Structure 1
Amino acid sequence: MATPWLRRLGRWCLLAGALAGAVPAAAATCPWPDWEAFRRTTISQDGRVIDASTPQQVTVSEGQAYGLFFALAANDRATFDRLLAWTENNLAQGDLAAHLPAWIWGRRSEGGQAGTWGVIDANPASDADLWIAYTLLEAGRLWNERRYTALGTLVARRVLREETAVLPGLGRTLLPGPVGFHPEPDLWRLNPSYVPLPVMRRLAAVLTEDSGWKALVDSSARLIVDTAPQGFSPDWAGYRKGRGFVADTQSRADGSYNAIRVYLWAGMMAPRDPLRTTVLQAFRPMADYVATRGHPPEHVDTQTGTFGPNAGNGGFSAALAPYLAALGQDAAAAAQVSRARTLAAQAPFGYYSQVLALFGLGHLAGHFRFEADGTLVPAWESTCPATR
């Protein structure tokens, strides 16, 4: 059942045409143009999500993870299986149960391998790994496929074992990857955009045999809220023993292309999630900025609350729209949807902006939502049973 804000949003979207052809009230009975465009322009025939904006034509594990999620939300099992096979064969040494996927793959440019294609950086990225585990588990449930469930469980267990650590005073916490994020004995580097609470909640609900997942929900909530003292999320944050969260020296406390996802994930939280109000209120200054300026900032100094000179791109607007809608600011959300669509029409979105739009606009249009425990509810499950 649609939430009240989604029903309101559907009414003004239909009136304003802001979603450019998508019909929020009956999204499951209609095509998903954004997904179809992404599949056509960004996913290769063999299942590789390509960032064409980079000279190396790279694929990142995050892109494969997001592609899997969108394919599930669209009930596109053929594309899902191609994405999964490519990920396993090229990023996980042919065995996703035994190896977390490498972070980046593409055309190599250095050393004796220059000009060849393959893994460029083998260190896994935990946000991708979480989304892969989550999506496999939900695919197993929604498509009644035990193979997906088993593989998702194994990936999740490996994440817990290889990509988390118990931080003093914080508890078990997700690290951005297995290597490189513990630069000093009492310091860790963390990323608030890596821990979407619906994903963390679902893994905790499904994998009940390991209490580590419940601890990860708790530490993730603190990471999201406590690293935003001025109401803006940073791309990266430090955590120092005895001091707690501190500004990340490498990123200079900047909030930008990573952090935009924090507001996106917050906007997609279920109304009955017990942390939703706390998280939404933590970022009120971002909503105020957008209401005043008409666009999100590209860069924010999250320690001082000062802004760079440039506006965020259309993907930023697409990511902010669900957050504004969740606050009940329907007109502001509609304006950001319209801005995203206008900018996309002027210049086609690249990989990352496409992803932000698929999440943000897809959620607003009703293609998918999350329950309070993180359960994925795609529109096709309840509205289009004939498509199963």
Structure 2
Amino acid sequence: MKMMRLWRQWMLCFMVMCFSAQAAADGWSTYKSRFMRDDGRIIDTANNNVSHTEGQGYGMLLAVANNDRATFDRLWQWTRTHLRNPQNDLFWWRYTPDASDPVADKNDAADGNVLIAWALQRAAQKWGGDYQQASDRIQRAVVKHTVISYAGYTVMLPGAQGFNKTSYVVLNPSYFLFTAWREFARHSHLRVWNSLIDDGMTLLGKMQFGKTGLPLDWVALNADGSLAPALGYSNRFSYDAIRVPLNIWWYDPQSLRLVPFQRVWQGYPRQSTPAWFDVLANTPAPYNMDGGLTAVRDLTLNETRYLTDQLTPQQNYFSASLQLLTWLAYQEKH
């Protein structure tokens, strides 16, 4: 009887693994067909089909996870051809097709830089080649141009230009990519990555605004170490900050930094959880989260039975990306 039970448990695990692998493959195939052009450009279908380093980085990460080297190489080739800034080894953050200058804004986005470097490092670990050298160059550039010490913290600015206001700096907590930073630290042994992790977690613990206790999409770190809503930005926990609990969970599923999100989302039925909150006005969005946003909620609340849901035809690029990344994070912990 004991052997029979063990056999059944093994078969169940085997079937779950097979189903999970098939679900991941189906999701990646659907994602490519809907959001990737033949030349390797990921399009943001909710923003006039622009492309940005965030999307290229997401696509490259997912390509590695799905062992799709041919697609990875197309994504990387397009990214370095069209977005690489030869002046500093970072990447222009947005590409607008059909514009006279598709990269008119010459600033970078720190999350996109890190995502691309992270994907390249993972590609090197899986396939070898010269991906690691490319990742190392980007990692060095990120540290040189966007990582600073401020108010007693080591922080990564959202971009090389425009976020250091002298009396305060603007931070985007969804750019705190803890798992990537940890993998960079393990490879390079540079202390700066661990400092970013430690100080990022400390800062998140203090980014609890309003009655919800949630972070804002954009936060100001003042010179005295205090935190406040960033001037000129919305007061919402919204489509930027929704990635914060995903980044925390991917790094440590047991982290106490997940508690504010769990506390808020547990107060709503799954199908009627507000898409965002105006944290300072203490008001929820007039519509509910779905797709990738709901996947982040499910992961955070350990309602993992929903994570293999298929992408739906109405999902845009961002929602689909979040859903597949959430599944990837879950798979890497199980």
Q: TM-score, normalised by structure 2?
A: 0.87
How far off is 1:204 after superposition?
A: 1.9
Structure 1's unaligned 5+ residue stretches are 1-7, 15-22, 109-114, 371-376, 378-388
- Which of 175, 180, 196 in structure 1 is aligned with 2:162? 180
Aligned partners of 1:231 and 1:284 also within 8 Å: no
Alignment-derived partner of residue 116 in structure 1: 100
How far off is 1:240 after superposition?
A: 0.5
Alignment-derived partner of residue 386 in structure 1: none
Alignment-derived partner of residue 106 in structure 1: 96
Corresponding letter in the other structure for 1:211: R
Distance change (3 Å), C-alpha of 1:42 and 1:30: closer
How far off is 1:267 after superposition?
A: 2.9
Corresponding letter in the other structure for 2:138: V
How far off is 1:199 after superposition?
A: 1.4
Distance change (3 Å), C-alpha of 1:334 and 1:120: farther
Alignment-derived partner of residue 382 in structure 1: none
How far off is 1:285 after superposition?
A: 2.1
Distance change (3 Å), C-alpha of 1:258 and 1:181: same
Distance change (3 Å), C-alpha of 1:129 and 1:288: same
**Distance in 2 between residues matched to 1:224 and 1:278, nearest whole Å:** 11
Q: How large is the RMSD of aligned CA atoms in angstroms? A: 2.6
Give matches, 1:279-298, under 5 Å.
279-290=257-268, 292=269, 294-298=271-275
Task: Please say if 1:248 is aligned against 2:226.
Answer: no
Corresponding letter in the other structure for 1:137: Q
How far off is 1:299 after superposition?
A: 2.2
Alignment-derived partner of residue 122 in structure 2: 138
- Which of 67, 73, 93 in structure 2 is aligned with 1:81? 73
After superposition, the C-alpha distances for 1:327-352 in whole angstroms (9 at most, x for unaligned) are xxx3xx446x58x75xx54x421111
How far off is 1:363 after superposition?
A: 3.8
- Which of 51, 56, 60 in structure 1 is aligned with 2:44? 51
Corresponding letter in the other structure for 1:101: F
User: What SS does the corresponding residue of 2:301 show, helix, strand or coil?
Assistant: helix
Corresponding letter in the other structure for 1:157: R
Distance change (3 Å), C-alpha of 1:157 and 1:355: same
Alignment-derived partner of residue 69 in structure 1: 61
Task: Please say if 1:161 is aligned against 2:131.
Answer: no
Structure 2's unaligned 5+ residue stretches are 1-8
Alignment-derived partner of residue 195 in structure 2: 215
**Distance in 1 between residues matched to 2:58 and 2:122, nearest whole Å:** 13
Distance change (3 Å), C-alpha of 1:91 and 1:24: farther
- Which of 312, 319, 323 in structure 2 is aligned with 1:357? 323
After superposition, the C-alpha distances for 1:358-384 in whole angstroms (9 at most, x for unaligned) are 1123444x3xx16xxxxxx9xxxxxxx
Distance change (3 Å), C-alpha of 1:161 and 1:288: same
Aligned partners of 1:169 and 1:244 also within 8 Å: no
Identify which range, 300-309 or 355-364, moves more after superposition.
300-309
**Distance in 2 between residues matched to 1:71 and 1:24, nearest whole Å:** 22
Corresponding letter in the other structure for 1:354: A
Corresponding letter in the other structure for 2:213: G
Aligned partners of 2:271 and 2:288 also within 8 Å: no
User: What SS does the corresponding residue of 2:170 show, helix, strand or coil?
Assistant: strand
Distance change (3 Å), C-alpha of 1:116 and 1:149: same
Alignment-derived partner of residue 132 in structure 2: 149
Corresponding letter in the other structure for 2:143: L
**Distance in 2 between residues matched to 1:270 and 1:239, nearest whole Å:** 24
**Distance in 1 between residues matched to 2:17 and 2:45, nearest whole Å:** 34
How far off is 1:293 after superposition?
A: 5.8
How far off is 1:47 after superposition?
A: 0.6
- Which of 309, 312, 324 in structure 1 is aligned with 2:301? 324
After superposition, the C-alpha distances for 1:155-188 in whole angstroms (9 at most, x for unaligned) are 0010001011111122x201000011123x2111
Q: TM-score, normalised by structure 1?
A: 0.75
Alignment-derived partner of residue 31 in structure 2: 38
Task: Please say if 1:190 is aligned against 2:190.
Answer: no
